[in-house]
Structure 1
């Protein structure tokens, strides 16, 4: 197998560091470049504690794409910059694998159109943990039979978007299998604004942000005399790497954008 050359945007961040580590552990992957505005010019390995890798940080994705010959861009950056990064990569003939959440439905549709026009593969996944993807799929199936549902997602306190991309994707899968209706008592009143969580297609989504958490979600389904809980916990960021590895390998086979890791799993 020929080596896949990869640029990592956000390589100095928590997830980016794990991606660089994963790349170094796989013989058929090569770290072509990394992006960090604050570490521009420094050796990536020295900055993140691996020892010299002889690959220096560039200050922007645009600079990295121009400087390095690569097949794949892995992006774990910020909601404010990710759409532009995907556009730059596709226009440069590089396949994006995106774990940054915060893209709107409109953003995704525009990126789908760009990928179709360019014949480029791309994968955007709200969550790369295989167990989390299974949780989302199982929740969608359960909603056919237990339509009364609420989602509670919990993340570390440095996460920028709420609800999480995983919670939003879960809500979308549930809505596909559930007729919209407003749950709860019709006369319900919030004594504190937001106490019942965000409203989506008749059910509620709750976000918790605390130090010490990584990424956790439970989906609660209620029925007469019963409660079904589907839960997933990522205990460290290494849990996302098998999914990232799979996406890097699969994106080279695609000619369109795929939203959600479940679409490249054999389910």
Structure 2
């Protein structure tokens, strides 16, 4: 099997370093370019797949350049609003690029999101608690936003009303509202990436939690994305679409 030539953007960041190490350790991958802020990105054009773990400020410029050059791109950078996704779709109209935008690459986190989507049909209340290290730039996290989107889709299809809430005090204490779902963001030293989805009905609760204790937990998902992106045409949102879950 021919090696897949991989380029990494954001190569000096914590996730970028981990991705470079993973790619270099895999016999079916070849790390041919690793770029960070200020580097010449032309070297990325030799890659079959480019992995972007940069910043919300940089990622759109990176995508515009790579899509214009028909590169396949795996994006782990967060901060993708519907408007940003639509911009990427517009760039891809006349491109041969395949693009994956994934809020989370930990397989367990992806399964957590899917389990939460399934559970949403059966509970009247749901809230999301996401916990990360204090250096994380965005809040709520991309994983929490994607989880809320999936839950909202499920509740809409099943005709479930939004969670009951009689709060009349400070609404900010109830967290951010994402698709009418309360999302609470904690930033605490010593943490990596954690999320809990709490469901409730009269007389019972269900908690679905995922804990990423080390960035190595994301690498199998990144490897899967690099390996399979050529077989997933166009723009795909969420690694769950690569897992072929029913």
The answer, yes or no, to whether TM exceeds 0.5 is yes
Q: Find out whether 1:10 has 2:13 as its counterpart.
A: no
CA deviations on 1:198-218 (whole Å, 9 max, x unpaired) are 112332000000111100000
SS at match of 1:141: helix
Shift of 1:90: 1.4
What is the deviation of 1:266?
2.0
Aligned with 2:89 (options 108, 112, 115): 112
Structure 1 segment 224-263 matched on structure 2, within 5 A: 224-263=202-241
For 2:188 and 2:165, how far apart are their aligned partners in 1?
30
CA contact (8 A) 1:116 1:256 kept: no
Q: C-alpha displacement at 1:37, in angstroms?
A: 2.8
What are structure 2's unaligned runs of at least 5 residues? none
Q: What is the CA deviation profile of residues 138-187 of structure 1, one whole-angstrom value per residue up to 9, with x for unaligned ones?
A: 10110011131000000000000000000000000000011474534435
- What residue is the counterpart of 1:125 in the other structure? 102
TM-score calculated relative to the size of structure 2: 0.93
Counterpart-to-counterpart distance in 1, 2:165 and 2:130: 23
- 2:67: which partner in 1? 90
1:169 matched to 2:146? The reply is: yes
> Which contiguous aligned blocks of 4+ residues in structure 1 show a shift greater than 3 angstroms?
179-187
Q: How far, CA to CA, are the matches of 2:26 and 2:72 in structure 1?
A: 19
Whether contact under 8 Å (1:182, 1:201) holds in the other structure is no
- Check 1:72–1:3 CA distance in 2 against 1; reply closer, same or farther (3 A cut): same
- TM-score norm. by structure 1 comes to 0.86
More helix by share: 2
Displacement, 1:4?
Answer: 0.9
Summarize deviations over 1:29-66 as a string: whole Å, max 9, x none.
Answer: 1111111236xxxxxxxxxxxxxxxxxxxx143x333x
Between stretches 130-139 and 111-120, larger displacement belongs to: 111-120
Q: What's the counterpart of residue 208 of structure 1?
A: 186
SS in 1 for 2:84: helix
After superposition, the CA RMSD in angstroms is 1.6
SS of the equivalent of 1:120 reads coil
Q: Tell whether 2:168 aligns with 1:188.
A: yes
Structure 1: gaps of 5 or more residues: 39-58
Larger radius of gyration: 1
Residue 64 (structure 1) aligned with residue 39 (structure 2): no
1:217–1:232 CA contact under 8 A, matched in 2: yes
CA contact (8 A) 1:4 1:29 kept: yes
Equivalent pair of 2:123/2:199 in contact (CA under 8 Å): yes
